[in-house]
């Protein structure tokens, strides 16, 4: 999502640490002191990244400062692992990112082409076939792509939304067959289904798909177009982040999360403190406990800087 997404904009309030930079104070879901943050979970597109897909110098500095202060930063995105090069230099010590809307945890150490899957929460083949069948019936004209750990496979009618050539082109039923034509592909877990409709409005398509699929799979979206992302049941950014936090002994109250699109909502409601970007979808604004400025104005960095400044003030007072 980009900052052009419709939605009410926050008032501009200059912050002491960044003169002239607009900001919106946090709106806490509950009063009283909160635990000190131990982990920052941030979406990428429309959130951490600017619209040109760059990471600003200010944001790079804020991420490094958070890690130096002992606050882990997790990138939590709908992107596949092969699209993580843009941030692989900024993962610091742990090196992990959550990709595919929670379908995979990837170690980004080693740089481009050397990313390693450390956790995969696959969509079962039978479930994927059932999803395709139900969505074809509910929304005729839907075109599908299948995201596996090794790459993307799509139908002929599926548009080149990201100018990425498919590993193979065939009807979804063939791509999901026990024998898709390539033994190596057959062994690759299915991370998610992508479903595109050329005529429906994005939110309408989401509502229709969720009604047709029910709890058989998780249906969400992160694109401004009518492109849905479908993962295994219970698989989401939030549920995989929860697993990663549990492994570290980190509670939801110790997590600060950022997002802008419907695929971020579960994560924002799970985290103890959460921020919708100034360019966020209205449903995201409603779900988050606070709001910051848009991605192009370094909204994530603004909040991280404030967190670290408050921590320093508390240390000086003690």
Summarised one tens digit per residue, pLDDT across range 203-228 is 999 999 999 999 999 999 999 999 99
pLDDT for position 289: 97
pLDDT for position 25: 45
Contact 35, 272 (CB under 8 A): yes
Contact 161, 225 (CB under 8 A): yes
Q: pLDDT tens digits, residue range 91-142?
A: 776 789 999 999 999 998 876 677 899 999 999 999 999 999 999 999 999 9
pLDDT in tens, the chain (318 residues): 433 333 333 333 333 333 333 344 443 334 456 789 999 999 999 999 999 999 999 999 999 999 999 999 999 999 999 889 888 878 776 789 999 999 999 998 876 677 899 999 999 999 999 999 999 999 999 999 999 999 999 999 999 876 566 688 999 999 999 988 888 899 999 999 999 999 999 999 999 999 999 999 999 999 999 999 999 999 999 999 999 999 999 999 999 999 999 999 999 999 999 999 999 999 999 999 999 999 999 999 999 999 999 988 887 776
pTM of structure = 0.87
Phi-psi map region of 12: left, alpha, beta (phi>0 left; psi -120 to 50 alpha): beta
CA–CA gap between residue 102 and residue 125 (Å, rounded): 18
List, in sequence order, every residue forming a beta bridge with 257; answer none if it has no partner: 41, 274
Spell out the residues 6+ positions from residue 192 whose beta carbon is closer than 8 angstroms to its own: 100, 101, 103, 123, 147, 229, 230, 231
pLDDT for position 3: 34
Sign of CA dihedral 82, 84, 89, 91: negative
pLDDT for position 184: 86
Q: 44-82 burial by CB neighbour count: b if 16+ within 10 A, else e? A: bbbbbbbeeeebbebbeebbeebbeeebbbbbbbbbbbb
| Token pair listed for 36 | 């000190």
pLDDT for position 9: 33
The backbone torsions φ and ψ at residue 48, rounded to the nearest 5 degrees and listed phi first, read: -80, -40
Q: What domains are defined for the chain?
A: 39-121+236-317 (3.40.50.1000), 125-231 (3.30.1240.10)
Contact 104, 97 (CB under 8 A): no
Instruction: Write out the E strands in 109-242.
Output: 116-120, 143-148, 151-154, 168-169, 190-196, 218-220, 227-231
């Amino acid at each position: 999502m980009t900052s052009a997404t419709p939605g009410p904009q926050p008032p501009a309030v200059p912050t002491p640490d960044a003169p002239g930079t607009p900001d919106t104070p946090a709106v806490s879901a509950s009063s009283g002191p909160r635990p000190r943050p131990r982990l920052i979970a941030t979406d990428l597109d429309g959130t951490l990244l600017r619209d040109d897909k760059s990471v600003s110098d200010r944001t790079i500095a804020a991420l490094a400062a958070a890690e130096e202060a002992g606050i882990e930063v997790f990138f939590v995105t709908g992107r596949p692992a092969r699209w993580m090069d843009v941030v692989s230099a900024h993962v610091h010590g742990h090196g992990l990112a959550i990709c595919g809307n929670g379908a995979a945890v990837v170690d980004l150490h080693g740089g481009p082409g050397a990313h390693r899957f450390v956790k995969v929460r696959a969509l079962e083949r039978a479930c994927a076939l059932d999803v395709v069948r139900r969505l074809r019936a509910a929304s005729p004209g839907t075109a599908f792509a299948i995201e596996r750990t090794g790459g993307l496979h799509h139908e002929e009618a599926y548009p080149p939304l990201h100018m990425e050539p498919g590993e193979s082109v065939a009807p979804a039923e063939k791509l999901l067959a026990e024998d898709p034509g390539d033994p190596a592909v057959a062994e690759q877990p299915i991370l998610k289904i992508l479903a595109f409709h050329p005529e429906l409005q994005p939110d309408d398509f989401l509502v229709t798909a969720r009604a047709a699929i029910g709890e058989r799979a998780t249906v969400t979206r992160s694109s401004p177009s009518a492109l849905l992302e479908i993962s295994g049941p219970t698989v989401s950014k939030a549920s995989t982040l929860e697993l990663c936090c549990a492994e570290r002994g980190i509670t939801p109250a110790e997590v600060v999360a950022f997002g802008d699109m419907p695929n971020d909502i579960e994560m924002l409601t799970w985290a103890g403190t959460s921020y919708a970007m100034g360019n966020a979808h209205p449903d995201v604004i409603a779900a988050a406990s606070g709001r910051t400025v848009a991605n192009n104005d370094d909204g994530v960095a603004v909040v991280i800087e404030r967190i670290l400044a408050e921590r320093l003030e508390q240390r000086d007072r003690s």
